[in-house]
Amino acid sequence: MPPETTGNLYQGTVWPWQSALERVPHGWRMPLGVLAAAITLIGMVTAREWGEMFHQWWNIDTYNHILLVPLITIWLIWLKADELAKLSPRPFGWGAALVAAGLMLWLAGRLTGINLFAQAGAVGAVQGAVVAVLGVRVSTLLALPLAYAAFMVPFGDEIIPQLQSITAKMAIALTLGSGIPAVIDGIFIDTPVGLFVVAEACSGVKFLVAMVTLSVLVSFTRFTSWTRRAIFVAASIMIPILANGVRAWGTIYIAQFAGVEFAAGFDHVFYGWIFFALVVAIVLAGAWRFFQSEPEDYGYTASDLDAMTWVARFEDGREGSMVILACIAALCVAAWMAAAILASSGLG
């Protein structure tokens, strides 16, 4: 190849990232860049919490469903792409207070050793950054995906003892009702063929938290009535709890006639995604005929927001994107320094 042609080797080449950037409206490019920088800063300060959360999502089966939450959040945003194109981000200065609140909750979690607080603060700070950088109008349009991101915080372990107790009480009631003599002591059920215990893995928390996560998604994408939404979420909480009590009784009942080993093996196979799939099918089948909307119609439209006078009032501020980024950066530095001081003093 002649030397003079090597300088033009990449001339005219369009890289994939360039093509994607060109599809982003000009009014969105600066705010999205600022938002990416703000999230990066928050992520650097709260990196330990994000690492811990990912570990729980990946390695603890109770939280495996959370791996889908970021994808669902992106999907919900994508459904609003046409409406977003009609808007222009306008920074909201008071949104920085939400970032501060998130970082304070994160710091409180660090100080007290309560991971739920620290992780919720890490996620909340990112949510606050979206509101601060993109503004009230865009955040209102994206209210569902923005709020749904809260499900990235692993929760549920806190209610395991209560669920164990409920399951044990349901199981003993059904066992006695089916004519099998049994005695209950807390979460232990003594029967003629052996002693059964409602262990943490049998509490039903795994499917309850997954069902709650699913129910919120379905209720806000398929219903427009708040009454129907409340009924659907309530049913999605009660049915898995009731079904888990029946499952525990079924294991005890089968053991009386087929032996403990067979019952344990059957329960091990059944109490997996088969059980969850059946519960989901029952709930969705019962709600199907009451659905009121299609997923892409959820939430507000750009026209709806134009009619909301309170949205315009919150857009009176003149803060620029870089001013918001500077505020978030200052908050991140302050939070990092506070955490470092606490750590050096043995408090964090």
User: Residue 289 carries which DSSP code?
Assistant: G
**Distance, CA of 193 to CA of 228 (rounded, Å):** 45
Handedness of CA 196, 201, 202, 203 (dihedral sign): positive
Read off the amino acid at residue 43.
G
SS3 221: helix
Residue type, 104: M
State CA 223 to chain mean position distance: 20
pTM of the model: 0.88
pLDDT tens string for the chain (348 positions)?
455 545 454 555 555 555 556 677 777 889 999 999 999 999 999 999 999 999 999 999 889 999 999 999 999 999 999 999 999 899 998 899 999 999 999 999 999 999 999 999 999 999 999 999 999 999 999 999 999 999 999 999 899 999 999 999 999 999 999 999 999 999 999 999 888 889 888 888 989 999 999 999 999 999 999 999 999 999 999 999 999 999 889 888 888 887 777 777 777 666 666 777 888 999 999 999 999 999 999 999 999 998 888 888 887 666 678 889 999 999 999 999 998 888 787 665
> d(Cα 19, Cα 308) in Å, to the nearest integer?
35
> How far apart are the two ends of the chain, measured CA to CA in Å?
63
| Contact between residue 221 and residue 295 where contact means Cβ atoms under 8 Å apart | yes
Kindly provide the residue ranges of all beta strands, DSSP E only, lying in the chain, ordered along the sequence. 183-185, 188-191, 194-197
